[in-house]
Structure 1
Amino acid sequence: MSNNTDEKKKSFFSKNKGILLTILIFAVLVFYPLPYYITSPGDAMVLDPIIKVEGGDKDKGEFMLLTVAVGKANIPQYIWAKFSDYKEVIPANQIRSDEETDEEYNQRQLQMMEDSQHAATVVAYQSAGKKVDIKYHGVYVTGIMEGMPAEGKLKVADKIVAVDHNPVMTTKELLDVLGPKKAGDKVDLTVLRGEKKMNVNLDVKQFPKKYIQNEGPKAGLGITSPVTDVSIATDPSIKINTSQIGGPSAGLMFTLEIMDQLLDKDMTHGKKIAGTGTMDLEKNVGPIGGIQQKVVAANDAGAEIFFAPVAGNNYKDALKAQKDIGSKMKIVPVKTLDDALNYLNKL
């Protein structure tokens, strides 16, 4: 009985050798991971359904945020991207560090999106002459360096509220306190992990050369991209629902949409307006990644106007993409929120 079974197995594999080999090759091509990410044009999302200001004004036109699709590369995708104008191959270490987990990366992206919303809300309400109060509650840990003191002691989403028993409520305060520390110094952090309050004692350590490159000797705890926990009280109230969209690049468009709902006038003048760029509390519009892919997404969505940051060559790259795809969209350079507002006022 056993001999018959073995003979049948040999016969099956002999007859189906080609099919099995094809399946094996296909599996390797599809599932073998490469140390690259592929980015491509994402979506153009109308902001009216995403941002809701209580009693907000409705207009005929639209403000839109833009996304870039990002995914890990396999072999077929890598080859396809190399022959595609608006798919970009990016080394994995430019998207996230070798030590950063999927959880840490996603947490960092969502935290940057939340920060972007806060900055946009503050700037929009202040610019519209409306009431906004800001409160700071501590500093979130969004990443931890391998081999540094924070590893194994702190976790992503821990919130630091004090250093050496002195309250620390913002990222700037945390950096100001830790900046002068030298290797060998001891630091006592007061940390909130969920509802639990705890003290974490760490020794300051020299950063490995791979982290500081040509900056010279530096020491620290190994906390990367710390983010301030902020709560904002506004009048009228506001709700922003971006689901799982991450990153800070929608700051400018958030600001414009919030102002549009706060003010009685139609800032869009009935037009479809897309754009991108970070927003800080001084109303500066910062550069972003994937600008050419966002131009493609905006054009596909029928946008008539596209706001592009001047910083980081974003504006020049946007013009290049516009010309390349033959778009009639107006590309408008912006350094600050006022640049965008002045352009809209002249429509």
Structure 2
Amino acid sequence: MNRIRKSGGFKASIFVIVVALILYVAVYMPTPYIIYLPGSADEIKPMVTVKVGDKEENGVFMMTTVSATYANVFLLGTSLFNRNAQIDKKEDRLRGKSEAEYSAEQVWFMSDSQSSAMEAAYEKAGIKYSIVPEHIFVFGLSQDPKPQGDIMPGDTILGVDGTATPDNTILSAQLKGRKPGDTVEMQLERGGETISREVQLVEVTDNKTGEKRPGLGVMIGTVQKVKPEDPDKQITFTSTQVGGPSAGLMFTLEIYNQLTSGDLTKGHRIAGTGTITKDGTVGPIGGVIHKIVAADRKDAEIFFVPKDNYKEAEAKAKQIDTKMKLVPVSNVDDALAYLKTLSVKS
């Protein structure tokens, strides 16, 4: 009997170990894949405000997003049965960047997109404005040469040796006359805190002239404030967890709606995607098939899609049998022209 009990206990132990291994492999073991799925379709009005603007909006403008999840074995298996899931390799997403660099780059793209949307809306509304540099944002680290010191993707560069550096030109002037190997004290903002860190300069190549000069070994961009001559037309964005440049068109439409009288939505639910430039040009984006699904789930009636993404978007719209009207656009004028044709929805 003792032998039987021992045998039963051994089998039970083996069973527990096997289950634990299966659970680990299915849930916890990392894979080199990422799963893209439809994200959200979010109302833009709560995200952006013109100080003294026309807030009438009986419909909504919505920006659309893509959900991205690093896949375990279980998710990979279930995704095979989901027609809206797209499986891709992590390396294709990161393109040699670290996770921190990718995240910082997306934050930078969103900030740049918001600035471009403000410029495009002001240009279209005939409102005079100026560009005021605010600070420098670090969105990547050079691999050759590597930075020498505690400076990270996502840092905001406030100054060098106590002197403010609101843009790249002033930063370059601060480093002029120094040489690689010199140490400077950087004033940075990281995680909402202002810190000071010593950084050793490295030799970098100037992108414009091709000449060698001392630098930080990081990839940077200037965050700009778009300032209207009329302070009542100042635009403020709320913080968002969404990154990337693809909400530019929809930001522009919402801002323009608040800058001008009347309601461009005319009571309709309007979603869309597309990058934007100062002159109103709408550029292509990634993940349009997922954004079509996200908008459909939020009962969007109209979807503005960059002209270069239209065929892909149309195929997905047919697959899910959506009632949304897809409108291809090359610039913001195309979108505004279509909105003028809409009747007011009661």
Question: TM-score, normalization: structure 2?
Answer: 0.79
- Please state how far the C-alpha of 1:153 moved relative to its aligned partner: 5.7
- Please state how far the C-alpha of 1:82 moved relative to its aligned partner: 3.5
- Please state how far the C-alpha of 1:28 moved relative to its aligned partner: 1.4
**Structure 1 residue matching 2:267: 3-state secondary structure:** coil
Aligned pairs for 1:62-211 within 5 A: 62-101=60-99, 103-146=100-143, 148-150=145-147, 152=149, 154-159=151-156, 170=167, 191-194=186-189, 195=194, 200-204=199-203
Q: Please tell me the residue identity of whatever aligns with 2:118.
A: T
Alignment equivalent of 1:296, drawn from 283, 293, 297: 293
- Please state how far the C-alpha of 1:32 moved relative to its aligned partner: 0.8
Report whether the alignment pairs 1:53 with 2:85: no
How far apart, CA to CA, are the structure 1 residues paired with 2:321 and 2:184? 56
- Please state how far the C-alpha of 1:121 moved relative to its aligned partner: 1.7
How far apart, CA to CA, are the structure 1 residues paired with 2:241 and 2:130? 26
Q: Please tell me the residue identity of whatever aligns with 2:247.
A: A
How far apart, CA to CA, are the structure 2 residues paired with 1:232 and 1:10? 76
Aligned pairs for 1:268-283 within 5 A: 268-283=265-280
How far apart, CA to CA, are the structure 2 residues paired with 1:197 and 1:221? 15
Equivalent residues, number: 320
How far apart, CA to CA, are the structure 2 residues paired with 1:300 and 1:88? 18
**Structure 2 residue matching 1:38: 3-state secondary structure:** strand
Q: 1:252-273 deviations in whole A, cap 9, x for unaligned? A: 1011011112211211122111
Change (3 A) 1:277 1:99: closer
Asked if structure 1 preserves the Cα contact closer than 8 Å seen for 2:148 and 2:200, the reply is no
Aligned pairs for 1:202-221 within 5 A: 202-204=201-203
Q: 1:271-317 deviations in whole A, cap 9, x for unaligned? A: 1110001112221111111101101111111111111112xx31111
Change (3 A) 1:59 1:137: closer
**Structure 2 residue matching 1:84: 3-state secondary structure:** coil
Report whether the alignment pairs 1:319 with 2:314: yes
Q: Please tell me the residue identity of whatever aligns with 2:233.
A: P
- Please state how far the C-alpha of 1:345 moved relative to its aligned partner: 1.9
- Please state how far the C-alpha of 1:112 moved relative to its aligned partner: 1.7
- Please state how far the C-alpha of 1:333 moved relative to its aligned partner: 1.1
Report the counterpart of residue 229 of structure 1 in structure 2. 223
Change (3 A) 1:318 1:99: closer
Q: 1:38-92 deviations in whole A, cap 9, x for unaligned? A: 1100111112222232343212111111011111111121233234322111211
Q: Please tell me the residue identity of whatever aligns with 1:299.
A: D
Asked if structure 2 preserves the Cα contact closer than 8 Å seen for 1:134 and 1:231, the reply is yes
**Structure 2 residue matching 1:142: 3-state secondary structure:** strand
Q: Please tell me the residue identity of whatever aligns with 1:88.
A: Q
- Please state how far the C-alpha of 1:238 moved relative to its aligned partner: 3.1
Change (3 A) 1:18 1:188: closer
Report the counterpart of residue 263 of structure 2 in structure 1. 266
Report whether the alignment pairs 1:343 with 2:342: no
328-337 or 104-113: bigger deviation: 104-113
Change (3 A) 1:273 1:14: same
Change (3 A) 1:160 1:51: closer
Asked if structure 1 preserves the Cα contact closer than 8 Å seen for 2:167 and 2:222, the reply is yes
How far apart, CA to CA, are the structure 2 residues paired with 1:239 and 1:301? 26
Identity between Structure 1 and Structure 2 (%): 36
Q: Please tell me the residue identity of whatever aligns with 1:72.
A: Y
Change (3 A) 1:119 1:186: farther
How far apart, CA to CA, are the structure 2 residues paired with 1:292 and 1:122? 28
- Please state how far the C-alpha of 1:319 moved relative to its aligned partner: 0.9
Q: Which sections of structure 2, spanning at least 5 residues, go unmatched?
A: 173-178, 206-211
**Structure 2 residue matching 1:19: 3-state secondary structure:** helix
Change (3 A) 1:189 1:93: farther
How far apart, CA to CA, are the structure 1 residues paired with 2:339 and 2:71? 40
**Structure 1 residue matching 2:11: 3-state secondary structure:** helix
Q: 1:115-145 deviations in whole A, cap 9, x for unaligned? A: 2112112221332233543201343211114
- Please state how far the C-alpha of 1:322 moved relative to its aligned partner: 1.0
How far apart, CA to CA, are the structure 1 residues paired with 2:317 and 2:97? 37
How far apart, CA to CA, are the structure 1 residues paired with 2:330 and 2:288? 15
Report the counterpart of residue 181 of structure 1 in structure 2. none
- Please state how far the C-alpha of 1:198 moved relative to its aligned partner: 7.3
